[in-house]
Structure 1
């Protein structure tokens, strides 16, 4: 009976968390950002301020999910993050991966799907924090590279969508192209979730029998010299993309 009550509590708490997330995003849009935008600052400073606002909001949200018994988490190597011009590449097992990552990085941008620009719960943070749309692939790559060259921190999921459980990684080449074009610091982050939940093939209410544990491990920087020396660029991108797939596959196998 105790186990069953715990399950129903976590189901309720999960629904509550998603409601809080949606309401919070909407309030940021109509209350917080209009107030912050009154303060005179340059566009880059306003963008950073908005990114910090999103960061603190996500930090509180992850803390809420932890405290009400939905999840636990651990972080290894956080000190390797938060460096100017850093490209953070991560695998994407769950729906809350970007929330978790941005909750630990005060000023960072990310790539956002076009449809989310019209979501009232996401529109405010996306526009004010200067997140980058994936609508035009070529423009997206140039915008990401320029942002990194200007000293911004960028988070990208090379898969571009959540991993299908038990499926092989299939990375898009956009992340590899951006990394080589920006020629910047590239840091891999491995995310692992046990038991599996909030995946691409699961609804939010299909929760596991116990609270899930999300671990984040920050790897060492990946040197680009070897790949930058390859010509033409298309082959360099292909090889670096294959390297990334192998790296994250090995990390996943290590956890299993």
Structure 2
């Protein structure tokens, strides 16, 4: 293993700094920035948008820190098609950093986040003020997610519920399909590749790849939810839509 190649030592140092900045940034958002931003009275939807734009801007700045310091390169194809009213964005989840890129580049979007983040000392402030949806596995969560889509919000969901196992095709739970059928105007897949793998479930932050990481986010074609919704009862339609998503992502990994 040649750890001297591609500025490995530099990337090791700045990866540690990136993690430190992320934690400090979460605390600053919670204790200082969001209280100031939310201080001025406004209607609830304006306050929510203000909070999400602040969190999204922080994530965008973090992605730029990683890019400008040479930790990674990235490419985002089709970004202009994200952020539409009632749009459900589904994405695979190969790494921790894909969440940063998605929320940083679609700042007005809602997001279904892991329930553990609601108790995380660094992130619980931002996720609660931004009114993201806690993935607690309840039926109420599915209803709430469908409600925000019917309200005209954009919603980001990672159907796997956790990070993808390297080398394995994504395994999607049916919750995303159920949400789509209950409330989405359109479903738009985002295919994310992180090469070489980094920050997967099996990789601690200090396991630095031998070469620079490249993140590629590609927006796929829209999926007409109504075609599934009108063709079969909800349980069957949900299974069919979930199978379609699974085949899309499995095919993308083989391509």
Gaps in structure 1 of 5+ consecutive residues: none
Structure 2 residue aligned with 1:116: 117
CA distance in 2, matches of 1:136, 1:102: 22
Give runs of ≥4 in structure 1 deviating > 6 Å: none
Q: After the TM superposition, which of the residue ranges 75-84 and 222-231 deviates more from structure 2?
A: 222-231
- Aligned positions, number: 254
TM-score (norm 1): 0.95
Structure 2 residue aligned with 1:171: 172
1:101 counterpart = 2:86: no
Structure 1 residue aligned with 2:86: 85
Change (3 A) 1:202 1:161: same
- Contact 2:86 / 2:184 at 8 angstroms: preserved in 1? no
Q: After the TM superposition, which of the residue ranges 193-202 and 2-11 deviates more from structure 2?
A: 2-11
Structure 2 residue aligned with 1:159: 160
- Contact 2:88 / 2:156 at 8 angstroms: preserved in 1? yes
Structure 2 residue aligned with 1:196: 197
1:21 counterpart = 2:41: no
Gaps in structure 2 of 5+ consecutive residues: none
CA distance in 1, matches of 2:184, 2:71: 39
Deviations 1:186-228 (A, max 9, x none): 1110001111111111111111001100001001110123311
Instruction: Give 1:137 deviation, angstroms.
Output: 2.0
CA distance in 2, matches of 1:32, 1:73: 28
TM-score (norm 2): 0.96
Instruction: Give 1:136 deviation, angstroms.
Output: 4.4
CA distance in 1, matches of 2:181, 2:64: 36
Matches within 5 A, 1:68-79: 68-79=69-80
CA distance in 1, matches of 2:141, 2:121: 22
